[in-house]
Amino acid sequence: MKDLINNGKLLLLLCLSLGLAPFFPEPHIWGKIKWITGGAIGMQPKDWFDVILHGFPFVLLIRFLILKIGKSRSQ
């Protein structure tokens, strides 16, 4: 499991597929972020779950990048 979470190529693939799907008319997560920044009026629990589901690959990718940068600086 640890190998999957620390695989940069897999994380990038997850971000481009699950993170952005559906792609048209705009990436799904982008629409949810705009909705939240607009005050999240009318958001239901399923919408918040949707934000977590589509946003989690990006959280993992950011974590991966932070660990890689920290590792390279400590060497």
Task: List, for residues 50-68, the tens digit of each pLDDT value.
Answer: 999 999 999 999 999 999 9
Domain extent, residue 68, equals 2-74
Whole-model pTM: value is: 0.82
Q: How far is CA 35 from CA 11, 15, 16, in A?
A: 25, 20, 21
Cβ within 8 Å of residue 19, ≥6 positions away: 27, 29, 54, 55, 57, 58
**Which position has the higher pLDDT, 75 or 40?**
40
| Total domains, the chain | 1
Mean pLDDT score, 10-18:
91
Q: So what's the pLDDT on residue 37?
A: 95
Alpha-carbon span 16 to 13, nearest angstrom: 5
Q: How far is CA 11 from CA 14, 45, 71, in A?
A: 5, 26, 18
Only one residue has tokens 């999240």, namely 40
Q: So what's the pLDDT on residue 65?
A: 93
Does position 42 have pLDDT exceeding 90, yes or no?
yes
